[in-house]
Structure 1
């Protein structure tokens, strides 16, 4: 009996020793540095984000990393409130897009992260929040963006230059040289064509004198739809005129003026201005929306 009791005490002592040894060997638990409406953000998350910042050249430091994690917690919470979910497949696609943007394979991206001590989940978490926030923007913020048509009209009108007040019907004459190969010789041929050009009606017939030359009906184009350099050159031409040869991806190109009328069209300029104004207004509304979420959030720093 005494022997059994002795064995029991020895076994218990050994077990306590084993527990203590394991406890000492195990890494310490991550400490919560801030809670956002009850959602904890740990020092490990902040450290990981800092490592990611270092790879990106972001020098906002620990405060910047913490603020970004707070914003993401609010963004994910707002997405949940609106019934928005982000699937793993969407995050996977986001990861592939990151790889494409920096022109490396996804495996190489993961390897780079690991070499810098960044877990792939750190990047996935940020992508998930970005995707969720984009959905919040489309659902809740974008409908609030209002752009004044009158302001757009006035701004568009002020930006139209004299060379942009024409409407054309054009033909394009292409001397084929894929990838620009042999463009020098083709330019010389294009210049000979240009010197013999007598108007759009005979454009095709004239092209038959040359190998791999094509005449394409471009159709109606307003000057505001054309690159500025071409619009300026066309403005100086009369009907039956033809631009100087330009090297393009498919070869050497010239534009022939088949019709030309005075016509102010603000549609294209206004469309560009509307896109710019919309982007700017959306960015401001998004900033305000997130600031409002922050102002109403319960953020506790430990």
Structure 2
């Protein structure tokens, strides 16, 4: 959550004078933000882009609403970073529209469970001009675009390393490939259905007899599940199937549509790491991307001309 939620009772206690005062403060902040940089004290310039005392002060107040205690130094560093990010976006021909910033602002409001007008009101109460948040969101959107255009293509994931990692995560019960049929007793009344399912299971002789046997029961159906690897199934079910031979059938379990059992029609030893590798690839990709982003930004910062006044 970016901002703490404002207590409704606290809001209700506002006096008319306080509301007017907050509104005036908001107008003054807006006017102050609209003043040219030359009329304000410039604290830092980043490749010729000024960062003023007003911007730093506004960002500190925004930090305070978020519980960020890094203060003036943290606010200044963040504004420098944003100036560098915006400059790189401009170099790459990336522009961020006001509509994109509006969408990002709306997402912030949704994330903290309030309307956009309420968010603006809360910012004003904290002495924060909405433009301070909009500027930060604009830089974030621009940096995302830079990441997609220039950083993500540099991220490479080694399939060999993924194979090695995946192999260490595969358990013995996951080394099987199955062709399955589901036998399901449809309808409410799970205890009655479970009794029928247990009778069916006791009489089950294999997949070829699954359908003929089901005809002896009311509301019993046989569904071809097809090929499934153990890693595609819940752990408990995968462990149970690993202990069955071809022609075996799992114990009845209650599902949303009734009572279900899985029959093993084929079972082969298989070291299919596809599904585990998919999760690993996402993890490794996120880590590698974050590392590459940090390196890219550090390189930009090292080349930037940053002058503190």
- Retained in 2: the 8 A contact 1:237–1:257? no
Aligned: 1:256 with 2:266:
no
TM-score normalised to structure 1 length: 0.77
**Offset of 1:107 from its aligned partner?**
2.9
Query: Structure 1's 32 and 254: CA in aligned 2 closer, same or farther, altered over 3 A?
Result: farther
Check conservation: 2:185, 2:197, Cα contact below 8 A.
Answer: no
State the alpha-carbon separation in 2 of the partners of residues 235 and 169 from structure 1. Answer: 13
Kept in 2, the 8 Å contact 1:194–1:242? The answer is no
Mark the CA change 1:116 to 1:269 in structure 2 (over 3 Å): closer, same or farther. Answer: same
TM-score with structure 2 length normalisation? 0.76
Provide the C-alpha distance between the structure 1 equivalents of 2:117 and 2:259, rounded to a whole number of angstroms.
Answer: 43
The alpha-carbon distance between structure 1 residues 255 and 295, as it changes in their structure 2 partners (threshold 3 A), is farther
Cα drift, residue 108 of structure 1: 2.9
Shift of 1:160: 0.9
1:174/1:87 Cα in 2 relative to 1: closer, same or farther (>3 Å)? farther
Cα distance per residue 1:245-267 (max 9 Å; x no partner)? 255xx455635134332211011
Change (3 A) 1:237 1:35: same
Report the CA distance shift for 1:49/1:206 in structure 2 as closer, same or farther (over 3 A): farther
The higher radius of gyration belongs to: 1
Match of 2:155 in 1: 145
Count of residue pairs brought into register by the alignment: 266
- d(CA) in 2 for partners of 1:117 and 1:173? 64
Residue aligning to 2:47: 37
Displacement of 1:294 in angstroms is: 0.7
Alpha-carbon displacement from aligned partner over 1:4-41 (angstroms, at most 9, x marks no partner):
xxxxxxxxxxxxxxxxxxxxxx9795322111111111
The aligned residue for residue 12 of structure 2 is: none
Distance 2:127 2:223 in 1: 57
User: Residue 16 of structure 1 aligns with which residue?
Assistant: none
Which residue pairs with 1:7 in the alignment?
none
8 Å CA contact 1:169, 1:220 repeated in 2: yes
Counterpart secondary structure, 2:114: coil
- Asked if the contact 2:105–2:116 (Cα under 8 Å) also holds between the matched residues in 1, the reply is yes
Pick aligned residue for 2:80 from 67, 70, 78: 70
Match of 2:288, SS? helix
**Structure 1 residue 161 displacement after superposition:** 0.7
Matches of 2:173 and 2:184 in 1, distance apart? 24
Structure 2 stretches lacking a partner, 5+ long: 1-30
1:202 aligns with 2:211: yes
* Alignment-derived partner of residue 122 in structure 1: 132
- What pairs with 1:28-107 in structure 2 (closer than 5 Å)? 29-107=39-117
Matched, 1:134 2:144: yes
1:218 matched to 2:221? The reply is no
What secondary structure is seen at the aligned counterpart in 2 of 1:100? helix
Post-superposition offset of 1:269: 1.0
